[in-house]
Structure 1
């Protein structure tokens, strides 16, 4: 390796180190938030119902035995009003049908409650708070869209793009900061 090549490689390492350090300093808080919420989301199904309510079993997995969805929705809405809070919105995010468990989860969009019903009898299997939903909203930035009333998730799109590109940049610069000096030492030993 010539002296000019060595100087060029050393300059590349310095540039990568500056980019790595500056990006890390600018995005530290966001990486911290993503890391913490990511750990919680990874553990949500293994949190003994703390982050995500446990799924219970209904009486029949045969859909022919089940009550119509609109009737089950009416039951869930009444339970929401009677058992949780009559002022809460009954606007659904989704109805999670678990045929293999014989039950449905009614998940609401404007708060983080879910109601699990037996598909056959309409009996309440569980009422639970879905903490994993708001943690996911923090994790992907959609909490900002909701707070500021930004439609179509533009902040989430911008945030996840920036964080994904930053992670890619960290991977590339981090690898070069590790590999570059090894390469330089190897070339120097050859001389």
Structure 2
């Protein structure tokens, strides 16, 4: 009698987990689709032959003492942005990535997906790039909604990553139990 009662409890838990697994999967299907596709693209970005992430060019000198001041390089990047990309978009700098070993300084701009690579020693342009990986990353982590809706402090990104992280944890636990539970019930019924 006690074993039959335990078996019924196990079956009830399995039904609850199956329903949770199915309902959560249905509600978050499109979000999981975006996360998985963008995650794959981000994993492959360095092996995309410059399609997702532009290759870093080689500058003339790896000696920082021979480089122009960072302020001068920044000004050059902003002038090149206005002249070669757009005088309508903001040339405000989001990030500066200094690559001393390559002799390159990479500039990324706020509120758009462009980048400029300059030779650190001469300040000459090495490459104008579209930063597709930045766009993909923002879709992946939900911060594109913060940018689009103009929220501050990344509230949407925080909510999105919390929901997706908890859903993945729920899927892991319920998925494991949906696999292991029937095996356990079968073993219990044999004893």
Q: TM-score range by the shorter chain?
A: over 0.9
Q: Which residue of 2 aligns with 1:189?
A: 190
The Cα shift of 1:42 comes to 0.8
SS for the counterpart of 1:152 is coil
Q: How do 1:12-161 and structure 2 match up within 5 A?
A: 12-161=13-162
SS in 2 for 1:125: strand
SS state at 1:32 partner? helix
Q: Displacement of 1:64 after TM fit?
A: 0.3
Tell me which residue corresponds to 1:167: 168
Distance in 2 (CA, whole Å) between partners of 1:118 and 1:146 is: 30
Distance apart, 1:154 and its partner CA: 0.5
- Equivalent residue, structure 2, for 1:5: 6
Give CA deviations for 1:25-65 in whole Å, capped at 9, x if unaligned. 11111101111111111111111111111101111111101
Cα offset, 1:79, TM superposition: 1.0
Q: Give the TM-score normalised by the residue count of structure 2.
A: 0.97
Q: Give the TM-score, by structure 1 length.
A: 0.97
- Asked whether the 8 Å contact 2:59–2:120 carries over to 1, the reply is yes
Gaps of 5+ in 1: none
The Cα of 1:95 is off from its aligned counterpart by 0.5
Q: Pairwise CA RMSD of aligned residues?
A: 1.0
Per the TM alignment, residue 88 of structure 1 is displaced from its structure 2 partner at its CA by 2.0
For structure 1, which segment, 146-155 or 162-171, has the greater mean C-alpha deviation from structure 2 after superposition? 146-155
Name the SS for the 2:19 alignment partner.
Answer: helix
Are the equivalent residues in 1 in contact too, given 2:78–2:92 (CA < 8 A)? no
- In the TM superposition, what is the alpha-carbon distance from 1:189 to its structure 2 partner? 2.1
What is the number of equivalent residue pairs in this alignment?
190
Distance in 1 between residues matched to 2:83 and 2:147, nearest whole Å: 27
